[in-house]
Amino acid sequence: MDAEEYVYPEALEQLAGNALRSFFRTDSQPQILASQVSLQVLTEHIQDAISNLESIRNHPDVSLCSIMALIYAHKCCETIDQEAIQELESSLKEVRKIASATALYYAGLFLWLMGRHNKAREYIDRTLKISSSSREGYVLRGWVDLTSDKPHTVKKSIKYLEQGVQDSKDVLGLMGKATYFMLQQNYSGALEVVNQITVASGNFLPALVLKMRLFLARQDWEQTVETGHR
């Protein structure tokens, strides 16, 4: 069983949105709109996504991921605008040359959500090269490895996750640690981390789902039912 089976896709999207909100502490930033639009792309609300992406593509922090998302969205249209795609691909090359660590982070996040793990890893590594203290970068790097289909890569994820959650209560990082421990069948370790999340974030659905699965794995039926009711 892999990490994505423990943390279902909708939860990964919620975790990603939560990561963006914790990064900027507000719902009014273009970065948050970028995450919402990325989800529109994932859920095939293509025309809405294109319109919203055009409105933020010139913002430096999200220009890279916005252009990537626009290219993907245009390719999903029934009638593909090849001229628009060519213009976007040309723009992507130029923006990539001057991208900041933040812009690279969001590009990596988008690529991860799209399932392009190798490309996401490349962008996040560039983020960490520019900003070696980026906790968000380490957490995302950990998740990219954690959701790999290669067991030896999954095992590498914990070092990035540990580095990302040092002295912090980053929910995305803690969920990564809990999922890693679950995959390693370290159920007591996973439960300890999940309890940290629920104390800090209340009824955070992905954490409650993971907690329920932990109790199921331990055959603790009473706690499974109780958590399910929450």
Q: Looking at residue 23, which CATH number applies to its domain? A: 1.25.40.10
Range of the domain at 84: 3-229
Query: Does the pLDDT value for residue 123 go beyond 90?
Result: yes
What one-letter code names the amino acid at 196?
A: Q
Here the contacts of 156-165 (C-beta below 8 Å, separation 24 or greater) are: 163/135, 163/138, 164/135, 164/136, 164/137, 164/138, 164/139, 164/140, 165/135, 165/139
What is the per-residue pLDDT across 24-68, written as a single tens digit (0 to 9) for each? 343 435 454 455 555 555 555 778 778 888 888 888 888 998 899
What pLDDT score does 2 carry?
57
Average pLDDT over residues 74-87: 91
What pLDDT score does 110 carry?
87
What is the per-residue pLDDT across 185-195, written as a single tens digit (0 to 9) for each? 999 999 999 88
Q: How many domains does the chain have?
A: 1
> What confidence category does residue 143 fall into, taking pLDDT thresholds of 50, 70 and 90?
very high
What is the per-residue pLDDT across 130-142, written as a single tens digit (0 to 9) for each? 999 999 999 999 9
Average pLDDT over residues 81-96: 96
183: left (phi over 0), alpha (psi -120 to 50) or beta: alpha
Compute the distance between CA of residue 205 and CA of residue 207 in angstroms, rounded to an integer.
5
> Is-above-0.85 flag for pTM?
no
Q: Name the percent of the chain lying above pLDDT 70.
A: 74
Phi, psi of 150, rounded to the nearest 5 degrees: -110, 115
Compute the distance between CA of residue 155 and CA of residue 160 in angstroms, rounded to an integer.
10
Query: How far from 91 is each of 21, 56, 63, 71, 87, CA to CA, in Å?
Result: 27, 14, 10, 11, 6
> What confidence category does residue 163 fall into, taking pLDDT thresholds of 50, 70 and 90?
very high
Structure-block tokens of residue 216 = 């199921």
Q: In terms of Cα–Cα distance, which of 157, 207, 151, 209 is closest to 180?
A: 157
Average pLDDT over residues 99-127: 93
Compute the distance between CA of residue 187 and CA of residue 144 in angstroms, rounded to an integer.
22
What pLDDT score does 23 carry?
40
